């Protein structure tokens, strides 16, 4: 099933400036993407084509957004899969799903007359977990297929494919994935710092009426440790409190309640996982 597809497919165009904070990650990604854009020069110089970018960091920090913005920046078609799709697949099905993913990318690029395709694989650790000492490996064929497809990517002519993978468990990854010519560029996408949080809050406030007395500086201060996804929730919950109060705009009080709610939600989630 393609449960996660909708998440990865809207809105169609997403640019890097719609992603708050993460300046270092953005710069590193853009630097890498310039290899895709300047592919002819790269090929002439005999530089290995860039095949894989690995985004690492906690959930909800914008890894998926960064992958989508990368597609926009390089004028690539975008196809996506998640490691969780591969759980409990029959032997062989995972490998054929990988094959189809690469085929889908090539076909889509041809159809849209684009030279580049980005394949995003979220939760890569599910298929690319460490293979240790003779252990029975459910995902061997899937991982092997991915490595085979990656090794088959060449620069120069035809549709150039870049694989962007994301994980929040980098230490779990098999070293075969991290070898040169595979995911040899790794970019950390950390929790946002204060100015990052402020930028993210403002992005998610854009379509909402916010009282002019609200201090973004204070809200950013009070949301230490929040991910981008949690900050998006703060703005959304704040708007819901506003609706309940039947007033016209979001006040500091609404946002204070919303921060508590998101914090509390996180705590109960953790309990449930234990
Ligand atoms: P996961 O590891 O759980 O897949 P992720 O790192 O891929 O998480 P995203 O799916 O990119 O996170 O982010 C989830 C949502 O959180 C986004 O759709 C967006 O609303 C919000 N968000 C996260 N980071 C940012 C950011 N830097 N700027 C703006 N919004 C953000």
pLDDT in the model for residue 90:
76
Confidence of residue 2 (pLDDT cuts 50, 70, 90): very low
Going by C-alpha positions, the residue among 155, 79, 157 that lies closest to residue 122 is: 79
Which burial class, exposed, middle or buried, applies to 149 when counting CB atoms under 10 A from its CB (0-12, 13-18, 19+)?
buried
**Alpha helices by DSSP H, 47-185:** 63-73, 93-111, 125-128, 140-151, 175-178
Return d(Cα 116, Cα 57) in angstroms, integer. Answer: 26
Do residues 135 and 97 lie in contact, with contact meaning Cβ atoms separated by under 8 Å?
no
Is the ipTM reported for this complex over the cut 0.90?
Answer: yes
C-alpha of residue 255 to centroid of ligand 1, in Å: 20
- Return the best residue to mutate from 10, 16, 64, 170 for the ligand 1 pocket (most ligand atoms within 8 A of CB): 64
Q: Taking residues 73-78, what's their average pLDDT?
A: 96
C-alpha of residue 261 to centroid of ligand 1, in Å: 19
pLDDT in the model for residue 5:
43
Q: What is the pLDDT of residues 154-206, one digit of tens each?
A: 766 689 999 999 999 988 898 889 988 899 899 999 999 999 999 999 999 99
SS3 148: helix
pLDDT in the model for residue 139:
65
C-alpha of residue 58 to centroid of ligand 1, in Å: 10
Return d(Cα 32, Cα 44) in angstroms, integer. Answer: 17
Return d(Cα 63, Cα 164) in angstroms, integer. Answer: 9
pLDDT in the model for residue 6:
46
The reported pTM is 0.89
**Which residue's CA lies nearest to atom 30 of ligand 1?**
228
Confidence of residue 49 (pLDDT cuts 50, 70, 90): confident
Confidence of residue 3 (pLDDT cuts 50, 70, 90): very low
The pLDDT of residue 109 is above 90 = yes
pLDDT in the model for residue 133:
54
pLDDT in the model for residue 270:
54
Between strands 185-188 and 52-56, the pairing is parallel
The pLDDT of residue 137 is above 70 = no
Return d(Cα 50, Cα 118) in angstroms, integer. Answer: 12
């Amino acid at each position: 099933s393609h449960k996660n597809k909708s998440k990865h497919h809207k809105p169609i165009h997403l640019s890097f400036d719609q992603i708050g904070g993460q300046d270092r990650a953005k710069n590193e990604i853009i630097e890498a993407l310039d290899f895709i854009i300047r592919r002819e020069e790269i090929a002439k110089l005999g530089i290995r084509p860039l095949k894989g970018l690995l985004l690492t960091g906690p959930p909800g920090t914008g890894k998926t957004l960064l992958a989508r913005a990368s597609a926009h920046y390089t004028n690539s078609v975008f196809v996506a899969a998640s490691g969780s799709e591969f759980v409990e697949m029959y032997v062989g099905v995972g490998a054929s799903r990988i094959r189809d993913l690469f085929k889908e990318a090539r076909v889509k690029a041809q159809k849209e007359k684009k030279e580049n395709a980005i394949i995003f694989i979220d939760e890569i650790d599910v298929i690319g977990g460490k293979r240790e000492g003779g252990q029975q490996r459910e995902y061997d064929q899937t991982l092997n297929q991915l490595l085979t497809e990656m090794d088959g990517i060449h620069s120069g002519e035809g549709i150039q494919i870049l694989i962007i993978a994301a994980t929040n468990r980098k230490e779990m990854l098999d070293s075969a994935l991290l070898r040169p010519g595979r995911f040899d560029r790794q970019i950390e996408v950390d929790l946002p710092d204060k100015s990052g949080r402020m930028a993210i809050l403002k992005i998610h406030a854009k379509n909402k009426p916010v009282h002019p007395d609200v201090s973004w500086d204070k809200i950013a201060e009070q949301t230490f440790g929040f991910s981008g996804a949690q900050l998006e929730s703060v703005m959304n919950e704040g708007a819901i409190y506003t609706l309940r109060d039947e007033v016209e705009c979001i006040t500091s009080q609404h946002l204070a309640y919303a921060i508590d709610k998101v914090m509390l939600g996180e705590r109960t989630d953790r309990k449930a996982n234990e």
